[in-house]
Structure 1
Amino acid sequence: MEKNILLIVNPVSGGMDKSEIIEATSAFADKEGLNIVIYTTTADDDTAKIKELYDTLKPERVVVAGGDGTIKLVAEALENADVIFGIIPAGSANGLATDLNIPKKLEDNIPVAFHNAFMEMDMILINGNKSLHLSDLGLNAELIKNYESSAIHGKWGYALQVFNTLLDKEDPFTATITANGQIVECVAQMIVIANSKKYGTGVVINPQGIMNDGKFELVLLKNLDLPIFAKIIAGNIPVETGDIEIISTDKANIKLNSPVSFQIDGEYCGRETELNVAISPKKLKVAIP
């Protein structure tokens, strides 16, 4: 009996043409004697359509070509399915792929997506919403909001918004965090809720991040001036400074003194005054090198 592979492609992610990915993936499947079915997301009831396709095909693997948002969409659609996900990074934010050390080159990452060993990854639940990777409160969420609503995209658009965001940055907020049986109060510019180590830019924000250890980290960034924020966005975060504190836990409550901008996995979610955060262990099987 022929084995099926479901390839889910987001045609708009990363502003790049996906025809090369579709051709290369189809060729690889043919060579392996696999039947490939391609689904292109439309932002119109994708969740139900992906579920239906999965139930009909019962694929060996689900391969996702897109960024963090696309992976999250597919993971949510198929959260009860026992299937391995292969990732072909093709988004503007490929944080998860970066963290899993998935190769950047197409000819290197297709075999990984089809064949390799897999890891059972945790997810984080924040006020009932799933986060696979990194969510945050404060400055970076403001940046994402500004970037989403700006006319100029790409690296220059991003750089411009970094500048604008810092120029208009709000006063630090006060957070009361309950975790590990303790209550911590802190004044911060940004709080990262991290399942993993790196942002899509390759920046290590959470050196302790392990995606299958049943824990997440809260990274409290207390003081962010331009040089530090620039370092976070461009390269590495200077964790040794006293301005950063990391709490590792499996559940937490965060109360804020005023509404603060919030984002999940690169998507702006509005302002929040309270977050309930918990780990949901071993929710997702992902192929890794």
Structure 2
Amino acid sequence: MKQIHFIVNPISGKGKHVINQELIDRFFPKEAYKVVLHFSAYKKHAIALTQEAMKQRPDIIVACGGDGTIHEVAAQLVNTDIALGIIPVGSGNGLASNLEISKSMDQAMENVKNGLIKHIDVGQINHKYFFSNMGFGIDATIIENYEKSGSRKLISYLKAAIQSAKKFEFKNMEMTINGVPKRVKPLLLFISNSNEMGYSMTLTPKASLQDGLLDILMVPKINTLQKFYFGLLVLLKKTDRFAPAEWMQLPRLEVTISDFQNNAIQLDGEYYLFKENTFVIQVLPSALKVLC
């Protein structure tokens, strides 16, 4: 008998979804499946719920929510034999879209039931994981302002981007690649494991979840007109046309931000404050099992 645990964020996507026992029973008959439902009550609650579910040694743990919920659940399953299932009911749904998991509730449930397991790469920064992308620059400021807005709409994200562009604080950074240091002062230092950020937007269209590499985009300090032009290219998914940008594919890099002891970083579209200034970012090849 296959055992499946569902970790449900009831307020994802404004709480319009209905994931309950009746729905579960329709897809997973009790004679063939043991299914347990868990509902998160606050931010990061999904972490504790997943850890509790793991004690039962299930075959699958399903994250039902947006990118934040998926991140919290997936981070517990790295380098385990438990497969991650995804029911994307959030706003951005970046990782689910990259994995071609349908937003249709019925199709997503069928994917949990009959989907094939794919082993995907996982990004790691010091003690934390990321699955889609992370960033040190203006994207972290955008996420901070986006979360403060209290709205999970694309227009709110765009407003946060404009607000952040006006007040962004540049930091001196040192990137070390293959032992060679390089000083930068970037508007954006974006490190991606997948080719989508959410809302169907991308900064790294050539990134792959299975190539053992991280795609790195570094945009230096630019003027206001260039910022608006870069923003337009992001919306058009043509960031590769932005000449001032630098692109790299690497399995590992180090970043030091010597002037700041606390640093804001976005991980998979969520804001985090790291109380450290030296970072090792690397890829863990094929470290997560996902149903897709």
TM range (shorter): 0.7 to 0.9
Separation in structure 2 between the aligned mates of residue 167 and residue 231 of structure 1, nearest angstrom: 19
Separation in structure 2 between the aligned mates of residue 8 and residue 20 of structure 1, nearest angstrom: 10
Aligned 8 A contact 2:216 2:248 in 1: yes
Pairwise CA distance, 1:252:
0.7
Pairwise CA distance, 1:23:
4.5
Q: Which letter maps to 1:192?
A: F
Q: How does 1:45-84 map to 2 (within 5 A)?
A: 46-56=46-56, 58-79=57-78, 81-84=80-83
Query: Paired residue for 1:26?
Result: 25
Q: How does 1:133-212 map to 2 (within 5 A)?
A: 133-170=132-169, 172-212=170-210
Q: Percent identity?
A: 26
Instruction: Give the 3-state SS of the residue equivalent to 1:213 in structure 2.
Output: coil
Aligned 8 A contact 2:91 2:199 in 1: no
Q: How does 1:111-150 map to 2 (within 5 A)?
A: 111-150=110-149
Query: Paired residue for 1:265?
Result: 268
Pairwise CA distance, 1:131:
1.0
Pairwise CA distance, 1:285:
0.3
Pairwise CA distance, 1:175:
2.9
Q: Which letter maps to 1:77?
A: Q
Instruction: Give the 3-state SS of the residue equivalent to 2:160 in structure 1.
Output: helix
Instruction: Give the 3-state SS of the residue equivalent to 2:28 in structure 1.
Output: helix
Q: Which letter maps to 1:284?
A: L
The superposition leaves residues 2-44 of structure 1 with CA deviations (integer Å, 9 ceiling, x where unpaired) of: 3322111111223223315765443111298323211112237
Q: Which letter maps to 1:250?
A: P
Aligned 8 A contact 1:251 1:277 in 2: yes
Pairwise CA distance, 1:166:
2.0
Separation in structure 1 between the aligned mates of residue 65 and residue 18 of structure 2, nearest angstrom: 13
Pairwise CA distance, 1:115:
1.4
Query: Paired residue for 2:107?
Result: 108
In structure 1, the gaps of 5 or more residues are none
Query: Paired residue for 2:253?
Result: 252
Query: Within the alignment, does 1:10 sit opposite 2:9 as a pair?
Result: yes
Q: How does 1:208-227 map to 2 (within 5 A)?
A: 208-222=206-220, 223=222, 225-227=227-229
TM-score (norm 1): 0.87
Pairwise CA distance, 1:141:
0.9
Instruction: Give the 3-state SS of the residue equivalent to 2:241 in structure 1.
Output: coil
Change (3 A) 1:153 1:95: closer
Pairwise CA distance, 1:45:
5.4
Separation in structure 1 between the aligned mates of residue 59 and residue 150 of structure 2, nearest angstrom: 41
Pairwise CA distance, 1:161:
1.8
Instruction: Give the 3-state SS of the residue equivalent to 2:289 in structure 1.
Output: strand
TM-score (norm 2): 0.86
Separation in structure 2 between the aligned mates of residue 80 and residue 217 of structure 1, nearest angstrom: 22
CA RMSD across the alignment: 2.5
Separation in structure 1 between the aligned mates of residue 107 and residue 49 of structure 2, nearest angstrom: 29
Separation in structure 1 between the aligned mates of residue 130 and residue 48 of structure 2, nearest angstrom: 20
Instruction: Give the 3-state SS of the residue equivalent to 2:91 in structure 1.
Output: coil
Change (3 A) 1:28 1:211: same
In structure 2, the gaps of 5 or more residues are none
Pairwise CA distance, 1:168:
2.1
Separation in structure 2 between the aligned mates of residue 173 and residue 80 of structure 1, nearest angstrom: 34
